[in-house]
Chain A
């Protein structure tokens, strides 16, 4: 299957390993990704904060470019997805824009992923954390499971992971406030760690690079600030697919995390 791919700015820098894992997983399950040529930033939170019209036109430009290629478009970053979906809704386009976790959570791809698992991750206990933009607001995302999304849960279960239910799947991590109000983000993220650990999870699975950054980059600072030692690795769901399918490069992606997941994987899987 051919899909247009809009990586977004972060996947070219601080979430480079997410981009690599997506490309690798797609290749393994038979999805041909074609990066949108000359894509530009979707405008993210800042554009819609300061200039609504600009926000819409930045995203609309990308949607228009994608229409020319006539393939449906896969967008991994939930922020980009949300912005592009808004522009897409305002246009009369026949292409479909997919958020990555809802796309791979479809039966067709689930079966493909499951049939290629060579190393089930059955000893891993995890919660899936979806954050805000992949499913909200449902008027834009058309998500039916916006209060309790389950796509990533289904994917993780297909890999054999012991997925635990919890009530904080869609609670906000604070997003870009991590730059200007670190104190707020630390408080929100601490709550997520506490609730995940309380539910019995040893790691958190995410599909958003903003969530990944906020949960992964500041874990040491949060431990220091609150006087409580946290060790809870944060995985992109595509990295775990890579692990279960034995894809080349998986450990390279995992090594670029700030919270090193290897000690957990060693005690659990190897």
Chain B
């Protein structure tokens, strides 16, 4: 479906789908911009939070899928806390990220998407996050998606890892491997 550019032909079906699947009342947004004014990461966003909501209302699907903003939301909850219509905007951002991946679209922020995927596969394997393995997996996933290796980033994280290791703040191996790879995790992940 392409985006609505003609105001006479606005298609609200996308907004209705998003509203019903996410359980959010997106039509109550009247663009007061309180979300945007309190958002800490607007300086890095391509669309502001209030604009994302407007884009959902008007069915700008392609623009949303290729937007950095949905990935840069740090889920700090400031917008949701202050929204006069109690719209859970971080939840909307999550829904849009999930939708972007589910439809096989390339995320605008590959490293951030790869981090979340690496984190989930980490806890699926070990039950608890292991930072060392998480970082390795994250860089592999990012490199595979970007089809290039960011040597500087890997070097930086390696240096940081060494610093933490020296301070006794890094576990190289998942210590609770067996005890936590229990039935509960398999059941929760549905495997």
Which A residues contact B (CB, under 8 angstroms)?
9-10, 12-17, 38-41, 43-52, 54, 57-58, 61, 132-133, 136-139, 146-147, 170-172, 174-177, 179-184, 187-188, 217, 255-258
**Is residue B103 contacting chain A, with contact meaning CB distance below 8 A?**
no
Instruction: Give every chain B residue within 8 A of A38 (Cβ-Cβ).
Output: 179-180, 182, 184
CB of B98 within 8 A of CB of A184, answer no
The answer, among B72, B168, B188, for a CB contact under 8 Å with A256, is: B168
Beyond A177-B72, A180-B112, A188-B40, whether A258 also contacts B163 by CB under 8 A is yes
Q: Which residues of B contact A46 (CB under 8 A)?
A: 115-117, 119-120
Using a CB-CB cutoff of 8 Å, which residues 84-103 of chain B contact chain A?
Answer: 86, 88, 91, 94-95, 97-98, 101
Q: Could you say which of A50, A61, A136, A258 contacts B188, with CB atoms under 8 Å apart?
A: A61
Q: How far is the CA of A15 from the CA of B180 in the complex (A)?
A: 20
Q: Contacts A38-B180, A51-B98, A138-B81 hold; do A17 and B129 have CB atoms under 8 A apart?
A: no
**CA of A175 to CA of B127 in the docked complex: distance in angstroms?**
21
The answer on a CB contact under 8 Å between A174 and B74 is: yes
A184, chain B: closest CB distance, angstroms = 5
Q: How far is the CB of B48 from chain A (nearest CB, A)?
A: 15
Chain B residues with CB under 8 Å of A136's CB are 76-78, 80-81
Q: Which of the four size classes fits the interface of chain B?
A: 35 or more
Cross-chain contact A181 with B97 (CB below 8 angstroms): no
- Which 6 pairs of residues, A with B, have the shortest CB-CB distance? A46-B119, A180-B111, A172-B76, A136-B77, A9-B129, A46-B116
Task: Flag B168-189 by CB within 8 Å of A: 1 or 0 each.
Answer: 1111000100011010110011
CA distance A148 to B166 in the complex (A): 37
Given contacts A43-B123, A256-B168, 15 further A-B contacts (CB under 8 A): A9-B129, A13-B169, A15-B169, A48-B94, A49-B94, A50-B94, A52-B95, A52-B98, A132-B77, A133-B77, A139-B80, A179-B115, A179-B135, A180-B142, A181-B72
What would 11 A/B residue contacts be, using CB atoms closer than 8 Å? A12-B171, A13-B131, A16-B168, A41-B127, A50-B120, A54-B188, A58-B188, A137-B88, A179-B135, A180-B142, A217-B164
Closest to B75 in A: A45
Q: Which residue on A lies nearest to B129, using beta carbons?
A: A9
- A-B Cβ contacts below 8 A, count: 155
B151 at the interface (CB under 8 A from A): no
A146 near B111: Cβ-Cβ < 8 Å = no
Inter-chain CA distance A180–B114, complex, in Å, is 9
**Cβ contact within 8 Å between B116 and A45:** yes
Q: Is B54 an interface residue, CB under 8 A from the partner?
A: no
The smallest C-beta distance from B179 to any residue of chain A, in angstroms, reads: 6
Distance in angstroms from B68 CB to nearest chain A CB is: 10
Please indicate the chain B residues that have their CB under 8 angstroms from the CB of A179 in the complex. 111, 115, 135, 138, 157
B131 engages A172 (CB within 8 Å): no
Contact in complex: A172, B138 (CB < 8 Å): no
Taking a contact as CB atoms under 8 Å apart, the answer to whether B41 and A174 are in contact is: yes
Residues of B within 8 A of A40 (CB): 123, 127-128, 180, 184-185, 188
Q: Does B148 contact A (CB under 8 A)?
A: no
Q: Are B76 and A181 in contact (CB under 8 A)?
A: no
From B119, B127, B184, residue with most partner A Cβ within 10 Å: B119
**B160 CB within 8 Å of chain A:** yes
Q: Of B98, B109, B182, which contacts A181 at CB under 8 A?
A: B109
Option from A14, A61, A174, A177 in Cβ contact (under 8 Å) with B170: A14
Q: List, in ascending order, chain B residues with CB within 8 A of A50's CB.
A: 94, 97-98, 101, 116-117, 120
Compute how far the CA of A45 lies from the CA of B120 in the bound complex, rounded to whole angstroms: 10
B10 at the interface (CB under 8 A from A): no
CB of A48 within 8 A of CB of B75, answer yes
A48-B75, A137-B77, A137-B81 in contact; A12/B128 too (CB < 8 A)? yes
Contact A172 B116 (CB under 8 A): no
Residues of A within 8 A of B119 (CB): 44-47
